């Protein structure tokens, strides 16, 4: 009798535990699958004390530690992590971009992956985001995130930024919006965002054009959408590339001479961004060097150091006559990325000018 009672209660307990495990599986199967690709930066940084917010070491904490530091993420997504590389982002190179882009595209082609987060240093975060915005071939969310304080700092911004980025990457709302940058509870588009302050946590802004939306209470709220083509809409594909064309930037200023332009051309640049003063003006001492470079087959883009506004074709210089490209409102560092990818497709100035009006 006692044996039968014990057997029945054991069976009941087993049944209960089995249902619990099914419920748990059901719960996780309803959560989005988000992969975090870690590349380094301050978000993976450590400082000597909790008040060290400058002079810390970036790119020291591994992805598994970053994930373990934010257990709340397991409630909003099935999170997995890969350490793609571990660098301070001032050292980002084309080889890193190609590795990252290929990994992103490979993962997003898998039906089991719903979205991707990339943890990244903030110094070149905007550039990696824009590069991926042009070469990722999926509508699934790709969210780039960093932090302005190291993981060891008082009120470190990394954990909440990472949590928000994972939430966004797993959200329906972020699908089809291009590569996004999520920091400081704000959502920015990859094309227009820039690091606007050397140290503050609100540094990433799209200034005059504005952010795309907010993150509040663990939810995304979008108010704008990107207007230029991105991701699956672009003509760029890097999956079979092992290198990218060398494109450099020459910065203009009062009393500037041709030395920088000449040296960059001599170094083998296939393209040159002139970060001009004002509306992309060409200083008289630099124009001949740029014109000579064009005649050698180097593609020249007139951009501006100003930071906002449009460098219009045939505005401050006769682009038709010089056979130059006008850089629209892209910053010099983003114009460099677009020209680099353009040169993987064509060297025709008109075709490239069209790309600057499209992306």
Q: By C-alpha distance, which of 356, 354, 287 is closest to 317?
A: 287
Marked catalytic residue, from 35, 42, 53, 124 = 42
Which residue among 41, 47, 115, 220 contacts ligand DAS (CB under 6 A)?
Answer: 41
Beta bridge partners of 181: 144, 188
For the CB of residue 296, give the shortest distance to ligand DAS in the complex, in Å: 34
Applying CB under 6 A, does 162 fall inside the site for ligand DAS? no
Distance in angstroms (rounded) separating the CA atoms of residues 305 and 301: 13
Measured at the CA of 221, the angle between CA 220 and CA 224, to 5 degrees, comes to 125
Angle between helix 259-266 and helix 287-295 axes, rounded to 10 deg: 20
Which residue among 32, 141, 146, 170 contacts ligand DAS (CB under 6 A)?
Answer: 146
Residue range at the interface with ligand DAS (CB under 6 A); choices 85-93, 173-181, 274-282, 288-296: 85-93
Judge contact between 273 and 332, C-beta under 8 A: yes
Q: Where are the beta strands (DSSP E) in 137-218?
A: 142-145, 180-183, 186-189, 194-195, 204-205, 213-216
Distance in angstroms (rounded) separating the CA atoms of residues 63 and 76: 18
Applying CB under 6 A, does 202 fall inside the site for ligand DAS? no
Which residue among 37, 38, 66, 88 contacts ligand DAS (CB under 6 A)?
Answer: 88
For the CB of residue 46, give the shortest distance to ligand DAS in the complex, in Å: 12
Which residue number places its CB atom closest to ligand DAS? 121
For the CB of residue 81, give the shortest distance to ligand DAS in the complex, in Å: 18
Site for ligand DAS in 47-66 (CB under 6 A): 58
For the CB of residue 121, give the shortest distance to ligand DAS in the complex, in Å: 2
Residue range at the interface with ligand DAS (CB under 6 A); choices 83-91, 132-140, 239-247, 255-263: 83-91
Applying CB under 6 A, does 122 fall inside the site for ligand DAS? yes
Applying CB under 6 A, does 104 fall inside the site for ligand DAS? no
Here the tokens at position 73 are 């993420």
Q: Are strands 213-216 and 204-205 parallel, antiparallel or unpaired?
A: unpaired
Here the tokens at position 320 are 């038709």
Which residue among 89, 138, 188, 231 contacts ligand DAS (CB under 6 A)?
Answer: 89
Residue range at the interface with ligand DAS (CB under 6 A); choices 76-84, 116-124, 134-142, 248-256: 116-124
Distance in angstroms (rounded) separating the CA atoms of residues 219 and 125: 23
Residue 60 is a catalytic residue: no
Q: Which strands form 271-276's sheet, in the order they lie side by side?
A: 247-251, 271-276, 299-304, 325-326
SS3 9: helix
Which residue among 121, 158, 220, 258 contacts ligand DAS (CB under 6 A)?
Answer: 121
Interacting residues toward ligand DAS by CB under 6 A: 41-42, 58, 88-90, 121-123, 146
Residues known to be catalytic: 42
């Amino acid at each position: 009798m006692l044996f039968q009672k014990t057997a029945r209660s054991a069976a009941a307990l087993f049944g209960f535990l089995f249902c619990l495990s099914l419920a748990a599986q059901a719960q996780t199967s309803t959560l989005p699958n988000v992969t975090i690709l870690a590349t380094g930066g301050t978000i993976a940084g450590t400082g000597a004390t909790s008040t060290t917010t400058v002079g810390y070491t970036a790119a020291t904490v591994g992805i598994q530690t970053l994930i373990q530091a934010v257990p709340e993420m397991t409630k909003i997504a099935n999170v997995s992590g890969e350490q793609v590389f571990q660098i301070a982002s001032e050292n980002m190179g084309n080889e890193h971009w190609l590795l990252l882009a290929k990994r992103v595209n490979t993962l997003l082609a898998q039906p089991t992956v719903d979205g991707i987060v990339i943890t990244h240093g903030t110094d070149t975060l905007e550039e990696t985001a824009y590069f991926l915005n042009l070469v990722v071939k999926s509508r699934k969310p790709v969210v780039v995130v960093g932090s302005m304080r190291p993981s060891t700092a008082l009120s470190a911004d990394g954990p909440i930024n990472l949590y928000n980025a994972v939430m966004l990457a797993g959200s329906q709302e972020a699908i089809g919006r291009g590569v996004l940058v999520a920091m400081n509870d704000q959502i920015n588009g990859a094309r227009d965002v820039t690091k606007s302050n050397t140290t503050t946590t609100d540094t990433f802004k799209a200034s005059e054009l504005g952010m795309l939306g907010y993150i509040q209470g663990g939810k995304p709220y979008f108010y704008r959408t990107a207007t230029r083509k991105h991701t699956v809409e672009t003509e760029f594909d890097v999956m079979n590339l092992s290198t990218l064309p060398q494109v450099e930037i020459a910065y203009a200023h009062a009393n500037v001479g041709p030395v920088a332009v000449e040296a960059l051309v001599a170094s083998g640049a296939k393209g040159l961004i002139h970060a001009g003063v004002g509306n992309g003006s060409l200083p008289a001492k630099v124009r001949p060097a740029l014109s000579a470079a064009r005649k050698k087959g180097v593609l020249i883009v007139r951009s501006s150091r100003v930071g906002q506004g449009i460098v219009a074709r045939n505005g401050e210089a006769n682009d038709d006559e010089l056979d130059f490209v006008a850089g629209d409102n892209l910053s010099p560092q983003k114009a460099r990325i677009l020209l680099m990818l353009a040169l993987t497709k064509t060297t025709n100035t008109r075709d490239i000018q069209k790309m600057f009006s499209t992306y």
